[in-house]
């Protein structure tokens, strides 16, 4: 199951990439949870990571200009280091085959307070073509869009996924959801991850949850899960992450401009 076809959030996918690279536990915890810079001008900070595939999981044919959603994301590591940040995704324009998205993901919210990333997205594929970052009223700077190469993993890599229905109480509402449960385990039990994601039709930025035809080793039960993320729980080798929707709407306005 590739990240593009998994219901995992882009933030969880980034953590999964770190896990898949088998970083030592202490080093991984330092990379993911190092203290944020204090009183450093935006222009002097290193640029945030932007991967070309991180917005692919969304169903761009069902996203309209003005759609936005915010989530509260809580993370914890085995070293008892924890964070809580508020993320945001906003569709700030659609021009033909191009979608303009302002993104503040977990890493940007944690390490670059006040900043966002403006992404030029190819609507047909969901791939990020170009990106810039900055804050309201600041001159934006280009960001390198990095490539990600995924694979089905070595023989014996176990993947199971199941979809069922559930009602979730969130943001003061009882939302009917599709719930996707996903488990991955490396050969010999070297590492494993578990995740659960609740998708609701009312929430913008609907996520696709399907299995790639090329990845025949995924054991998938149930139908398709569709909708925006109401809640997500992820547990891997180096991190536990809980994501819950905080607010959403249809009146997003652009705050960043490409040079």
Q: Decide if pLDDT at 48 tops 50.
A: yes
Bridge-based pairing state of the strands 218-221 and 158-170: parallel
Cβ proximity of 13 and 54 under 8 Å: yes
pLDDT tens digit string along 215-234? 445 676 777 778 999 999 99
pLDDT range class, residue 11, cuts 50, 70, 90: low
Helices (H), ranges, the chain:
10-20, 25-33, 106-111
**Percentage of residues in the chain with pLDDT exceeding 70?**
73
Distance, in Å, from the CA atom of 198 to the CA atom of 230, rounded to the nearest integer, reads 5
Tokens 């969880």, located at residue = 12
Contact, 145 vs 175, CB < 8 A?
Answer: no
Handedness of CA 244, 247, 251, 255 (dihedral sign): negative
Stretch 233-259: mean pLDDT, rounded? 91
One DSSP character per residue, 71-126 reads EEEEEE-TT--EEEEEEEEEEEEEETTEEEEEEE-HHHHHHSTT-EEEEEEETTT-
For the cut 80, the answer to whether the pLDDT of residue 214 exceeds it is: no
- In which residue are the tokens 């070297």 written? 190
Q: Residue 26: is its pLDDT beyond 90?
A: no
Check residue 258 and give its pLDDT.
Answer: 84
For residues 103 and 254, what is the distance between their CA atoms, to the nearest angstrom? 11
Look at residues 24, 47, 65, 8 and name the one whose alpha carbon lies nearest to residue 209: 8
Band of pLDDT at residue 210, cut at 50, 70 and 90: low
């Amino acid at each position: 199951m590739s990240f593009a076809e998994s219901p995992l959030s882009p933030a969880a996918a980034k953590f999964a990439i770190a896990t898949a690279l088998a970083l030592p536990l202490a080093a991984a915890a330092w990379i993911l949870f190092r203290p944020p810079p204090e009183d450093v001008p935006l222009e002097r900070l290193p640029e945030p990571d932007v991967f070309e595939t991180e917005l692919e999981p969304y169903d761009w044919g069902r996203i309209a200009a003005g759609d936005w959603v915010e989530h509260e994301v809580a993370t914890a590591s085995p070293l008892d280091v924890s964070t809580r940040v508020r993320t945001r995704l906003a569709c700030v324009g659609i021009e033909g085959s191009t979608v303009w998205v302002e993104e503040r993901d977990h890493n940007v919210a944690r390490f670059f307070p006040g900043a966002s990333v403006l992404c030029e997205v190819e609507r047909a594929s969901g791939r990020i073509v170009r990106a810039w970052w900055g804050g309201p009223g600041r001159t934006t700077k280009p960001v390198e869009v990095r490539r990600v190469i995924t694979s089905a993993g070595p023989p014996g890599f176990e993947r199971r996924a199941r979809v069922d229905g559930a009602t979730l109480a969130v943001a003061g509402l009882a939302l009917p959801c599709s719930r996707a449960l996903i488990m991955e385990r490396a050969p010999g039990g070297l590492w494993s991850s578990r995740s659960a994601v609740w998708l609701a039709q009312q929430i913008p930025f609907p996520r696709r949850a399907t299995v790639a035809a090329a990845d025949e080793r995924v054991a998938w039960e149930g139908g398709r899960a569709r909708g925006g993320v109401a809640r997500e729980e992820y547990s891997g080798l180096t991190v536990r992450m809980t994501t819950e929707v905080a607010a959403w709407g249809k009146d997003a306005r652009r705050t960043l401009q490409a040079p």
